[in-house]
Amino acid sequence: MEKHKKQHIGLIFGGNSSEHDVSKRSAHNIYDAMDKERYDVSLFLMTKNGYFLDHEASSRVFDGEPEDEVAKQELAKLDLKNPLARIINLAEESDIDVFFPIIHGNLGEDGTIQGLLRLLHKPYVGTAILGSAMSFDKDITKKIVKLAGVPTTRYEVITPLTAEQYSYESLSDELGQTLFIKPANQGSSVGIHKVENAEEYSEGIRDAFRYDSKVLIEEAIEGPEELEISILGNDHPIASKIGAIRVPKDDAFYTYDNKFVDASQVKFDVPVDISEELAQQITEMGLTTYRALGLKGMARIDYLVSKDDKPYMSEVNTLPGFTNISLYPQLFAASGISYSELIDRLIQLAIDEFERQSKILYDFKPLPPRDQNINK
């Protein structure tokens, strides 16, 4: 890799998911935490309709100009009939050393942006294509970690084609009276519903299908405590201390509004006071999950802990939030790794993984062809 006095980082944010604005807040925090003596930073905003803006236009939005107006002006300059128009502005900065994508949700955490950066042959922060795709799909995640011995909640999967085969009555007989409905490929609690009767179930299913064609119906854990752990690393990951989320009593779960609109009633225990046995169990589950899914760079893993202190893996976030209240950086800060050091480590991990993969791809020497006639 060509050396620069400063490393040139391409910070990618925005996206066309429901977490667009959350991504912008994360990007601001990451940018502010970067040591400007070490890094030059170029900004690339992905608009809500999936086009990348160049650094100049992205900076205007970053500085507070209305995004819709800036995007309209910039898209008018592009040949929208060109299939590469969506990504053409990434070519502006060909000397970027490392891309730092912080697009939450679809296109950012599902392997899409990772595939693009792989094609560009550039290092990037976070997990590669397969690990991202598996972790983004809650159904696939649960299947993989269950094979690795990590306990998760029981659930059924329904699609528009199979929805008529399931009713609230049949599902509640199997999973319990209280059920959670979750789009399989969605983040930040979008489309999630807690239901306790047939009417709520029908309404929840209808809404969940707005966000995904695959929906999970999960059992509810009695009196759950929501705990989270942060993981950092590639082949030798480390785990943070464990934190807890305390939501208002009137809320059934940690909602989108709790996270990003009005978090004033939410309390975070960082680190949380739990037994050493439970902390060790969650840490081991987190590291096992991380390795089973082939994750790299970072992840935040969420758990539900029942009244009898039994933990269940709930969800994996491969590009967790970096907003002011996000637990991923908070948990590492409580573990002795500052926000700026965390960014430094993530960038170096991206370079390390890129170099490892490049060595495999370009130093590989195939075996000579085998003689097809074994009798000769």
- Predicted confidence (pLDDT) per residue in 11-43, tens digit: 999 998 888 999 999 999 999 999 999 999 999
- Residues 349 and 355: their CA atoms lie apart, in Å, by 10
Of the residues 19, 74, 156, 219, only one is catalytic, namely 19
Calculate the alpha carbon distances from 370 to 47, 99, 363, 364, 365 in Å.
52, 41, 21, 18, 15
Residue 133 above 80 pLDDT?
A: yes
302 is known to lie in a ligand binding site: yes
Confidence of residue 366 (pLDDT cuts 50, 70, 90): low
More confident residue, 365 or 171: 171
Which residues sit opposite 155 in a β-bridge? Answer: 218
317 is known to lie in a ligand binding site: yes
Calculate the alpha carbon distances from 157 to 187, 215, 217, 252, 322 in Å.
17, 6, 6, 21, 31
The model's pTM is: 0.89
- Determine the pLDDT at residue 18: 82
* pLDDT, mean of residues 331-354: 97
Residue 374 above 50 pLDDT?
A: no
Which DSSP string do the residues of 268-304 spell out, in sequence order?
EESS----HHHHHHHHHHHHHHHHHTT--EEEEEEEE
**Neighbour tally for 180: CB within 10 Å:** 22
Residue 203 above 50 pLDDT?
A: yes
Confidence of residue 371 (pLDDT cuts 50, 70, 90): low
- Determine the pLDDT at residue 149: 98
Q: At what angle do helices 168-175 and 198-208 cross, to 10 degrees?
A: 100
- Determine the pLDDT at residue 264: 52
Of the residues 23, 26, 42, 326, only one is catalytic, namely 326
Give the torsion through C-alpha atoms of 63, 69, 75, 77, to 10 deg: -90
Q: Write out the H or E segment, with its range, that includes residue 312.
A: strand 311-317
- Determine the pLDDT at residue 5: 77
Residue 369 above 70 pLDDT?
A: no
315 is known to lie in a ligand binding site: yes
Active site annotation includes 19: yes
Calculate the alpha carbon distances from 297 to 30, 145, 230, 236, 376 in Å.
15, 19, 11, 10, 51
Residue ranges and CATH numbers for the domains of the chain are 7-125 (3.40.50.20), 154-219 (3.30.1490.20), 222-337 (3.30.470.20)
Active site annotation includes 326: yes
Residue 47 above 70 pLDDT?
A: yes
Sign of CA dihedral 352, 354, 355, 357: positive
Longest C-alpha distance within the chain, in Å?
Answer: 79
- Determine the pLDDT at residue 191: 85
- Determine the pLDDT at residue 186: 80
Confidence of residue 263 (pLDDT cuts 50, 70, 90): low
Residue 88 above 70 pLDDT?
A: yes
- Residues 337 and 370: their CA atoms lie apart, in Å, by 52
* pLDDT, mean of residues 166-176: 97
Length of the chain: 376
- Residues 68 and 221: their CA atoms lie apart, in Å, by 42
Task: Give the mean pLDDT of the chain.
Answer: 90
Confidence of residue 260 (pLDDT cuts 50, 70, 90): very low
Residue 56 above 50 pLDDT?
A: yes
Least confident of 116-125, 197-206, 254-263, 286-295: 254-263
Active site annotation includes 17: no
Residue 106 above 90 pLDDT?
A: no
**Which phi and psi (to 5°) does residue 303 adopt?**
-130, 155
Please say whether the beta carbons of 86 and 314 come within 8 A: no
Confidence of residue 376 (pLDDT cuts 50, 70, 90): very low
Burial of 332 from C-beta contacts in 10 A (0-12 / 13-18 / 19+)? buried
- Under DSSP, the state recorded for 106 is T
- Residues 331 and 241: their CA atoms lie apart, in Å, by 6
Residue 137 above 70 pLDDT?
A: yes
